[in-house]
């Protein structure tokens, strides 16, 4: 069996050091000269090894600061029962996001874009409504302590929310979030459905969430129903995959 290419062997060595802690987060990797000397290879080979680790999201190259082991914030656990937690009366302003992040209302910021659109075939199927139905589209970027953590694009039937405070971007953020808004409109959600997939971020998502190369995202498609009627579709909730653990529990 032929030997593995030199750049893969170098990447294996550095990756093992990152995972076992001998190269802690924030640590600068050995210089190009040092790596060439210790492994007896050319600069091109070392660059290939470092590029591979960068693609895997393990290291990042900083202008004037060399290549360092990427600092990954602790993953936050996101559980389905977060929706139940904000459905009850609120003693203090909060949403599912502020609870997930364990932040106060003052540490929460929401960027928003509202527009009026018509349902494409996929949205029509998710809503169980005809294609072309008018919808309110809301794109949110959620910030915790000024750090972007989540993007969501959600849709509500225009005949439900048009000319109500829910369609006014100035009213965001709304304590209790979409759950509270639907309850305000007289349609409290009784069921939440989520479908989760992983993918690589779009360039816009990577820039918005300040993602380094090689970091995938979790994309969650959500439906909120009030009895048998679909009241809201979120396509999608986008989360950096290295910052989140999704917890699901099923009572049997």
**Among candidates 110, 161, 107, which has minimal Cα distance to 134?**
161
Tally Cβ neighbours within 10 Å of residue 107.
Answer: 13
pTM: 0.75
Please report the beta strands in the chain, taking only residues with DSSP state E, as ranges in sequence order: 59-62, 66-69, 76-79, 108-118, 134-144, 147-157, 191-199, 217-226, 229-240, 244-247
Tell me the pLDDT of the chain (252 aa) as tens digits: 457 889 999 999 999 998 888 899 888 999 889 999 999 999 999 999 998 888 877 888 877 778 888 877 666 666 666 776 555 556 678 888 888 888 899 999 999 999 999 999 999 999 999 999 999 999 999 999 999 999 999 999 999 999 999 999 999 999 989 999 999 999 999 999 999 999 999 999 999 998 877 789 999 999 999 999 999 999 999 999 988 888 877 777
Q: How far apart are CA 145 and CA 241, in angstroms?
A: 19
**DSSP at 243:** S
Q: Are strands 229-240 and 244-247 parallel, antiparallel or unpaired?
A: unpaired
**Model pLDDT, residue 106:** 93
Query: For residue 109, is the peptide bond before it cis, meaning its omega torsion is within 30 degrees of 0?
Result: no
């Amino acid at each position: 069996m032929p030997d593995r290419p030199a750049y893969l062997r170098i990447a294996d060595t550095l990756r093992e050091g990152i995972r076992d802690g001998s190269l802690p987060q924030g640590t600068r990797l050995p210089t190009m000269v040092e790596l060439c000397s210790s492994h007896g290879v050319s600069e091109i080979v070392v660059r290939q090894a470092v590029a591979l680790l960068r693609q895997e999201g393990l290291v990042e190259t900083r202008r004037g600061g060399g290549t360092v082991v990427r600092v990954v914030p602790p993953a936050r656990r996101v559980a389905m029962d977060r929706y139940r937690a904000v459905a009850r009366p609120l003693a203090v302003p909060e949403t599912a996001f502020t609870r997930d992040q364990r932040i106060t209302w003052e540490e929460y910021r929401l960027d928003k874009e509202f527009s009026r659109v018509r349902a494409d075939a996929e949205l029509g199927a998710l809503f169980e409504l005809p294609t072309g139905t008018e919808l309110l589209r809301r794109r949110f970027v959620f910030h915790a302590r000024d750090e972007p953590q989540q993007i969501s694009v959600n849709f509500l039937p225009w005949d439900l929310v048009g000319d109500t405070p829910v369609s006014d971007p100035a009213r965001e953020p709304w304590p209790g979030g979409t759950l509270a808004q639907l309850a305000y409109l007289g349609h409290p959600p009784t069921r939440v459905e989520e479908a989760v997939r992983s993918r690589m971020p779009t360039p816009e998502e990577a820039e918005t969430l300040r993602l380094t190369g090689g970091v995938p995202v979790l994309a969650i498609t959500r439906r909120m129903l009030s009895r048998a009627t679909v009241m809201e579709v979120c396509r999608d909730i986008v989360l950096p995959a290295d910052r989140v653990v999704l917890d699901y529990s099923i009572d049997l």
